[in-house]
Chains A and B, each alone.
Chain A
Amino acid sequence: DAMVIQNPRYQVTQFGKPVTLSCSQTLNHNVMYWYQQKSSQAPKLLFHYYDKDFNNEADTPDNFQSRRPNTFFCFLDIRSPGLGDAAMYLCATSSTRGSTEAFFGQGTRLTVV
């Protein structure tokens, strides 16, 4: 059973049209991460939540926002997608209490047209 679920798997959006990607987890992990990954590159951290504390990377564009309404859900909002935002977006979770894993969802591949 999938433990970190991202929806949708594939998303096509128009240039400049706001889009939201979602991530849910059944692991009760208290840390959640959003990464952007472009072809042949390593995942680039956009931001992460440690419980409710939001941590934004210094080089994450203002165009990218996130919400975490509860432990299990986290959203990535792209306010005005540009062609350069086309990428795979990965959600991951980890726990600071006992668990030794950090899992990724299957990712959402975003296309901007």
Chain B
Amino acid sequence: GQNIDQPTEMTATEGAIVQINCTYQTSGFNGLFWYQQHAGEAPTFLSYNVLDGLEEKGRFSSFLSRSKGYSYLLLKELQMKDSASYLCAVRDPSDDYKLSFGAGTTVTVRA
């Protein structure tokens, strides 16, 4: 089975940095994905990690440790438009590449 955990809510100030953690326990592992979702819209792909380490894309970075079953998404220089839900998802090859999601973390950016 799959178990993916992330905090429910986080609040930060414009211009600051926020780190969203995700821990997972799955039967198999073939990549961890992060998505951003604004209310009423579909999730937008942010990043993919399959090997240990840090992937950086502009203001967003994602880190993976497979031995610890742990990832984080780092959002730097926060802007008001970054207020959204952030979803962590894991793909499991032992279950025909099922893509399972955590409950999502709602990030609120305040001025």
Q: List 18 A-B contacts (CB under 8 A).
A: A31-B97, A42-B87, A42-B101, A42-B103, A42-B104, A43-B101, A45-B101, A48-B97, A50-B96, A55-B95, A55-B96, A88-B42, A90-B42, A90-B43, A94-B99, A101-B48, A104-B35, A107-B41
Quick one: closest A residue to B4, CB to CB?
Answer: A42
Docked Cα-Cα span, A72 to B77, in Å, equals: 39
CB atoms of A53 and B45 under 8 A apart: no
Docked Cα-Cα span, A31 to B98, in Å, equals: 9
Quick one: closest A residue to B106, CB to CB?
Answer: A40
Task: Report the interface size class on chain A.
Answer: 20 to 34
CB atoms of B101 and A102 under 8 A apart: no
Minimal beta-carbon separation of A30 from chain B (angstroms): 8
Q: How many B residues touch A, CB cutoff 8 Å?
A: 25
Q: Which residues of B contact A (CB under 8 A)?
A: 30-31, 33, 35, 41-45, 48, 50, 87, 89, 91, 93, 95-104
Interface string of A32-59 (1 = CB under 8 A from B): 0100000001110100101001010000
CB atoms of B43 and A104 under 8 A apart: yes
CB atoms of B96 and A104 under 8 A apart: no
Docked Cα-Cα span, A68 to B102, in Å, equals: 26
CB atoms of A102 and B42 under 8 A apart: no
Quick one: closest A residue to B95, CB to CB?
Answer: A55
Which B residues are in CB contact (< 8 Å) with A105?
A: 42
Quick one: closest A residue to B89, CB to CB?
Answer: A102
Interface string of A12-39 (1 = CB under 8 A from B): 0000000000000000000101000000
Which B residues are in CB contact (< 8 Å) with A42?
A: 87, 101-104
A64 at the interface (CB under 8 A from B): no
Docked Cα-Cα span, A98 to B9, in Å, equals: 34
Which A residues are in CB contact (< 8 Å) with B89?
A: 102
Name the contact of B99 in the complex, choosing from A33, A100, A106 (C-beta under 8 A).
A33
A96 at the interface (CB under 8 A from B): yes
Minimal beta-carbon separation of B107 from chain A (angstroms): 14
Quick one: closest B residue to A35, CB to CB?
Answer: B101
